[in-house]
Structure 1
Amino acid sequence: MDTTDVVIIGAGIVGLSTAYAITQAAPGTRVTVLEKERGPARHQTGHNSGVIHSGIYYKPDSLKARFAVQGAAEMVKFCTEHDIPHEVTGKLIVATERDELPRLHALVQRGRENGIPVRELGPAQIAEYEPRVWGLAAIHVGTTGICDFGAVATTLARLATDAGADIRYGAEVTAIIRRGPDVLVGSTAGSLRSRSLVNCAGLHSDRVARLAGDHPPVRIVPFRGEYYALTPPRNGLVRGLVYPVPDPAFPFLGVHLTRDVHGGVHLGPNAVPALAREGYHRRTIRARDVADTVRFPGTWRVARRHWRYETSEIARSLSKRAFTASVRRLLPEVRPEDLIPAASGVRAQAVHRDGTLVDDFLFSGSAPFTHVLNAPSPAATASLPIGREIADRALAALQTA
């Protein structure tokens, strides 16, 4: 049986950032990352929109606000240093209905409280940034950008490995046993003895916590984010990033327009219940995942609380014309024939038993365990400071072992 100091489960961007942070904070610490897939960033990291979020939406002093504002600046610097494709594009948040105007003004105030540069715009000024976009008013957020988070994760994996970390792919964790001060971890690639364990398993984080003998206060309920892309001849309709004013009652941002680092434009997402934790396609169904979701009381409480919102999301999922109608609120010229299906992502939404959706980052566990049970957007943006936060917890667990 191999021995290590810290074992990290999951080679998404948060797990890899944590591994790199440990090697920088405590050189010589033995770090092993176990990833069930054959490479890094195969799930949430590799299926996101590639947006470097500014932090404007998040409650001041929350972990999301603090990590996002700091992480956005660090991510731009990291991409520059390592020649990773990126661009600071700025973005527009656009009000298309009068009842959205108070929420838009509230976002201005929140952005300023979080130290984010924002500029209020009227219709003529909107056209200066996005000539094809329509709105009553908007705000411009200057620190938002785009990058290739898959490339960021690959770079973090290389840097961590160069600093001495051991990353094992094809290593699905099958057992976690506490034995005195040690943790024994069984996987499909062999067994490990460790003194600290970090759970960055994303879509399976609650299951890993239970495998470790803990009782996480939440369950992961997966939501699939479905996207379309503009056909290449119509990419010129959108110059950068355009978002609607979000509904604060729901943790998704609504259908938005996102240019990526390769010049394509994605539209979406719909946020619909997924029938598998890795259900990137509508027809992907996993009986165990469905049973876990259906048996969990929080699922039904979420459904009762948000059924109107989810009904509209499902309608857009089933009807391209309904989806196009949502896009046309921001981009009136778009037509159904301008849209082609694009890759989907799955969000690992943590939900309490009472149906409350966890909005902020959520860590749990006591030494030797550190469980990352909710790492919502902007986790990729904020992955560098989040990695340092988790690394501090993992190293503290070593001191108490």
Structure 2
Amino acid sequence: MTVTSDSPISAATAVETTSGVTNSAISYSTTDSTLAVPGYTYQVSVVRPDGTTQSYATLSSALAAQSLYDNTSNGDTQSDKSAQAFQVSYKADYQSANIAFMTDSGVAPMSAIAAAGVTSGVYTSTYTAAAGYYFTADGQPSGASVAADGRTATFTFNYDNTDNTGASDSAAQSFTLKMAPASQSGNISFSYADAIGSPAVPADVPLAGVTGDSKTGTITAPEGYYIVSIAGDPYNVVYTDETHQEATYSVILDDTDNGNSATDRDSQDMVVTFAPNNQTVNVIQAMPDGTTSVVDTQNAKTNQSYAYEYTTPAGYYVASGSAAAASGMTTEISNDGKTVNVTGTYDNSKNTDASGTDEQTQDTTITLSKSEQVAMFKIDVPT
């Protein structure tokens, strides 16, 4: 009894040789249980004198069909010119494996793979990590090799030897390759448009996390300014009111393929631009009887310079200390009290309404006094 040369195991090896006399029973110490190998099926073929074969599912059935030694004329020699042959042929069983990809938090960045092969067969494949993820260097099953940057992993294993009949596996192998979300970043920076002078620029707001993280926050314009524009498509921005003094933002960190690097190759950035609010300065004239009127109104930007020369109406003057300057303004009364120079800087009020009108105006009040008048009478006496 031999194993066929094309068998996946024990190819072309002799199993057992037995002998007897013509028409005596053929008997092997080898049995079906000793021929059985986990993960393989076998059949036993009897080779006929003409070279053809008849296959049987077991050794016992083959011996039942060919139970006696033949009648080859061998004389008194101890050799058989035409020995009866029994051949054992093995076939590897169907095997399968499930390969999953998972993070520590239970997220599956990639679809699982169902692999199929045969007993002791070799499976090998190289995977590219899903965008925004990488293969970790530790926690991998035996046979996994991860690239230095974590972007690819090669996995090799041998199928097991479960006894299976047909194309189904009663105990599929299961493997999990460990992955992690890549580091991602963003940055919010600030600038000014049409500002007067060089107002202080707020510090950048850095954002850091991993693929899929949600980041939220609030942007508040500096005093005297409003948010005029925002550039940064990945961000969702909502103004808290119509004056654009404040806005909330949210962003989902993207899936840039950074591998296991802590540096983001494509940061998600947003630029917020502030513009000066409209500011209003009024000069108010107060008459001696208590009535008031606005004699000058000017509008300009935060921090812009202001200047106005007020002239009293005829018959009135401004007494010393009677020009109450608004915050950020100074007043200078002329010696004769007939003019008042109002100068200063527009403030940084942010109290604007929906249309941008200043609701906290800088009001300078000039209080008038009546000028003294002299009446002269001339009497002509006849001579």
**Shorter-chain TM-score category?**
under 0.3
Taking structure 2 as the reference length, the TM-score comes to 0.18
More strand by share: 2
More helix by share: 1
Taking structure 1 as the reference length, the TM-score comes to 0.18
Larger Rg: 2
Structure with the bigger RCO (C-alpha within 8 Å, sep 6+) is: 1
